[in-house]
Amino acid sequence: MMAETFILIPGRTSKQGCGISEGKFKEKYQSEIYTLQVSPADMERLGLEKGDMVRLQGEHGQVEVAVAPAKKDELPEGLLFIAYGEISSRLMGGDTHGTGMPTSKGMDVELEVLK
């Protein structure tokens, strides 16, 4: 399957927030930051099921994560969501464009299905 371009949005989830307090090395936090939410329509089109592995290649790095369908209409097609942390940070570049803030949301990524 050819890689497809998506827009990635890392962000806070309450599960990730709880995981920060409970311990970043524990399973709850680790599984949350490794799980990529994909719209149900994109999941179906790409032949993905929950738990399948995909590679996200960005301009500055790549990660391999497990997918899960987003609930109902929470995500439009073409958009991906992941709880922010050590995994999403690997896709951030060092350039902050003179602001101090690296581009951390709305990054273009190439998604490749690994299964």
- Tell me: does residue 40 bind another protein (CB under 8 A): no
Q: Which of 56, 64, 65 is nearest to 32 (CA)?
A: 65
Q: Give the CA-trace dihedral at 12, 18, 22, 23, to 10 degrees.
A: -10
Q: Which of 44, 28, 48 is nearest to 115 (CA)?
A: 48
Tokens 């790549």 locate to 62
10-39 residues near another protein, rule: CB under 8 A:
11-14, 17-25
- Tell me: does residue 89 bind another protein (CB under 8 A): yes
CB of 39 to another protein, least distance (A): 9
CB of 50 to another protein, least distance (A): 19
- Tell me: does residue 47 bind another protein (CB under 8 A): no
Q: Which of 36, 81, 82, 109 binds another protein (CB under 8 A)?
A: 81
> Rule CB under 8 A: which residues touch another protein?
7, 9, 11-14, 17-25, 60-61, 73-76, 79, 81, 84-86, 89-90, 92-106
